[in-house]
Homo-oligomer: A and B are copies of this chain.
């Protein structure tokens, strides 16, 4: 079935013949394997260009920042999935990635779009405070949550944010989006009535946009990062399984709120 107008698929990422694989114009075997790091290769794959050393440092720092945060819900989902289907490593990874949605990890992309919008609004004048106030107020009025601010655990500020911004300063990248992110943090109490500090999901796009990483690929960064964390958890699960123990603990205090037959005696 034909859906849409395009019928000839085009791609600019790679091609090959019987002997040679070309990726982004380079010979994979002679110019890339052993010659470039995986993270620089990721940058090349996504953008078509090798990163500058500063861009490479930033991309590495963001991937390290977000790869692992303990037994968060998506890691639990992944470990329970491996416990139930231990022969399917990739299925458990996929289950964990499916939890990288709007609430947990998706904020990297939506915060990136928000910063972009503030920068557009500020225009040549670059009054980021005023633009941040305007855009945040519009989000507020449209009842759209502000992505990338506040955290259930780190109420006094997320140390990962400071670490990422430090790398940005040391590497000398464009700090426009860092300033926008901070401007927004400053106006949020006024707009929302709450102190909502920058969290890691806002710091990531703030520094990635500063190296020219494309908006549309932002969501890929937490996904790639989290995949590394999931693989570590699943390797641990294969050695020391806890998927079913997590599941058991999760339901110890479950309350059944439905009806039961008269003669039914609950077991817990």
Binding site for B on A (CB under 8 A): 1-4, 6-30, 32-34, 36-39, 41-42, 45-46, 48, 57, 59-61, 63-65, 67-74, 76-78, 80-81, 83-95, 97-106, 109, 152-156, 159-160, 162-164, 166-167, 170, 214, 216-217, 219-220, 223-225, 227-229, 231-236, 238-261, 264-267
B residues within 8 A CB of A239?
Answer: 216
CB nearest to A3 among chain B residues: B244
B residues within 8 A CB of A235?
Answer: 46, 214, 216-217, 220
Most buried by B among A9, A224, A231: A9
Q: How many copies does the complex hold?
A: 4
B residues within 8 A CB of A42?
Answer: 67, 228, 231-232
In order of increasing CB-CB distance, the 3 nearest A-B pairs are: A85-B101, A220-B231, A29-B159
A85 near B102: Cβ-Cβ < 8 Å: yes
In the bound assembly, the distance between CA atoms of A90 and B224 in angstroms comes to: 10
B residues within 8 A CB of A252?
Answer: 249
A37 near B34: Cβ-Cβ < 8 Å: no
- A213 CB to nearest chain B CB (Å): 10
A41 near B77: Cβ-Cβ < 8 Å: no
B77 near A228: Cβ-Cβ < 8 Å: no
Partner of A228, one of B38, B214, B229, B249: B38
CB nearest to A217 among chain B residues: B235
B residues within 8 A CB of A229?
Answer: 13, 45
- A265 CB to nearest chain B CB (Å): 6
A253 near B249: Cβ-Cβ < 8 Å: yes
CB nearest to A240 among chain B residues: B10
B46 near A258: Cβ-Cβ < 8 Å: no
- A162 CB to nearest chain B CB (Å): 7
B residues within 8 A CB of A72?
Answer: 1, 247
B residues within 8 A CB of A256?
Answer: 10-12, 14-15
B residues within 8 A CB of A152?
Answer: 1-4
B residues within 8 A CB of A65?
Answer: 28, 33
Give 13 pairs: A residue, B residue, CB < 8 Å, sorted on A.
A1-B248, A8-B255, A10-B240, A33-B65, A34-B64, A38-B225, A42-B228, A72-B247, A74-B84, A86-B103, A87-B101, A90-B219, A249-B251
A42-B231, A98-B91 given; A83·B103 CB < 8 A: yes
A248 near B7: Cβ-Cβ < 8 Å: yes
